[in-house]
Chain A
């Protein structure tokens, strides 16, 4: 079992839909949770960051972390064609020097106009 599991999709939704993307993980030492967005033929870019459990909202994006279930989610409201990309969850342990990120495989999302 990989440390981080993510359904690769692909996921196709109509414009305006609510999108839910999820990851599960097995390493209870993970404390920092991130979502990266990767457009085709580009490098990943940080989209959202959450520490420990809880919710974080940024515009149309909401990140949730449930450490008791080892489950993280990213919600996109009012999805737009420009949201079409691959979304990768990433996580790392706490502590100085622990900046290595472990990534999920990514979920490819297409938002259809």
Chain B
């Protein structure tokens, strides 16, 4: 059963601490997305990779957020230093990058609370 795997599922940390979230996309998928979901803003695109190359990270606060794909099986999203306003659910999604639907498969999310 192919699925996107995200860790950690829950993270509580204090302001100023570094947070790293990890994602294992579905094997064979070549597009990977990081979204942030809050009640106020809904799902916001943070970063987008295709074949491991970053294509769009315009939605990401550059001073504290960074996203990488060290290899095809791992995507990371790092926040340093974290702030209370970063509290949200962070979703990773992957897609095959082919076909008309461009369907994205989402992980179950990493719920971040910054105190």
Q: Bin the interface of chain A by size.
A: 20 to 34
Q: Pick the contact of B48 from A41, A45, A88, A100 — CB < 8 Å?
A: A100
Q: Is the CB of B108 within 8 A of A42?
A: yes
Q: Is the CB of A43 within 8 A of B106?
A: yes
Q: Which of B35-60 contact A (CB under 8 A)?
A: 35, 41-43, 45, 48, 50, 55-56
Q: Is the CB of A43 within 8 A of B45?
A: no
Across-interface contacts of B48 in A (CB, < 8 A): 99-100
The stretch that binds A, out of B13-21, B61-69, B75-83, B92-100, is B92-100
- How far apart sit A61 and B33, CA to CA, in the bound complex (Å)? 27
A27 CB, nearest partner CB in chain B, Å: 14
Tell me the nearest residue of chain B to A4, going by C-beta: B42
Across-interface contacts of A43 in B (CB, < 8 A): 4, 91, 93, 106-109
Across-interface contacts of B56 in A (CB, < 8 A): 100
B77 CB, nearest partner CB in chain A, Å: 15
Q: Is the CB of A101 within 8 A of B104?
A: yes
Additional pairs, 14, CB under 8 Å, beyond known A34-B101, A42-B108, A88-B42: A6-B42, A41-B109, A43-B93, A44-B106, A92-B102, A97-B50, A97-B97, A99-B95, A99-B102, A99-B104, A100-B56, A101-B102, A103-B35, A105-B43
> What are 10 A-B pairs with beta-carbon distances under 8 A?
A34-B101, A42-B108, A43-B109, A97-B50, A97-B97, A100-B48, A101-B104, A103-B43, A104-B42, A106-B42
